[in-house]
Amino acid sequence: MRANRTLEIGTGMFVLLGFAALFFLTTQLPASGLKLGSAKSGYHLTADFDNIGDLKVGSPVTMAGVRIGEVEVIRFDSKQYKAVVGLRIDNQYNQIPDDSFASIQTQGLLGGKYIGMSPGGSDTFFKNGGRVDQTQSAIVLESLINKLFANFANKGSSDNGSGADNKSGSSDSKQGTQK
């Protein structure tokens, strides 16, 4: 009887554990699954962007390269045709000037998108529910290349020598905006 009991408990635990693992893998990993994330503390800001690229919920929000919060929600504003991004900033960073600037940047060459904040000069700070007015959209590589080629073609038709200079100039400016 005693052996039976441990056997039953062991089997039950094993099957339970297995199905719990299956449940987690099928519901929590795919983007389509339901999320059971716990609510974290912090205060909330919103920011409108023309284009967020492939920014995702959970992407970090950084200031001077230090993580200060994360993207909490992404909505589409059907009146202004803009993306509204909800940010959650940790409570310890409560002295961010309310004219700070938010831009969507790319981590490394192939990395994911994140939001980088640069401080403004205002004396008042962001409060819960505040809105970031100054934003810069994600840089979409295709449109950048399009612009580059349009520029290149224009220059090329007017004078034939300076195409190469123009190209290097553009890629400099691209790096400048990403930094």
Select from 1, 39, 64, 110 the one that contacts other proteins (CB under 8 A).
110
Which of the 8 DSSP states describes residue 36? -
Q: How far is the CB of 26 from other proteins (least distance, A)?
A: 5
Instruction: Output the DSSP codes for 97-152.
Output: BTT-EEEEEESTTT--EEEEEE----SSB--TTEEE-EEE----HHHHHHHHHHHH
What single letter denotes the amino acid at residue 130? G
Select from 65, 108, 121, 161 the one that contacts other proteins (CB under 8 A).
108
The answer to whether residue 39 forms part of the interface with other proteins (CB under 8 A) is no
Q: How far is the CB of 144 from other proteins (least distance, A)?
A: 18
Q: How far is the CB of 126 from other proteins (least distance, A)?
A: 20
Select from 1, 64, 111, 157 the one that contacts other proteins (CB under 8 A).
111
The answer to whether residue 86 forms part of the interface with other proteins (CB under 8 A) is no
The answer to whether residue 17 forms part of the interface with other proteins (CB under 8 A) is yes
The answer to whether residue 141 forms part of the interface with other proteins (CB under 8 A) is no
**Distance (Å, whole) CA 164 – CA 169:** 9
Dihedral sign for Cα atoms in the order 155, 157, 162, 165 = positive
Q: Which stretch binds other proteins (CB under 8 A): 20-28, 44-52, 143-151, 160-168?
A: 20-28
Q: Residues in contact with other proteins, total (CB under 8 A)?
A: 36
Which of the 8 DSSP states describes residue 37? P
Q: How far is the CB of 6 from other proteins (least distance, A)?
A: 9
Q: Name the token pair of 13.
A: 């635990």
Site for other proteins in 42-71 (CB under 8 A): 54, 56-60, 67, 70
Distance separating the N- and C-terminal Cα atoms of the chain: 70
The answer to whether residue 21 forms part of the interface with other proteins (CB under 8 A) is yes
Backbone angles phi, psi at 153, to 5 degrees: -65, -45
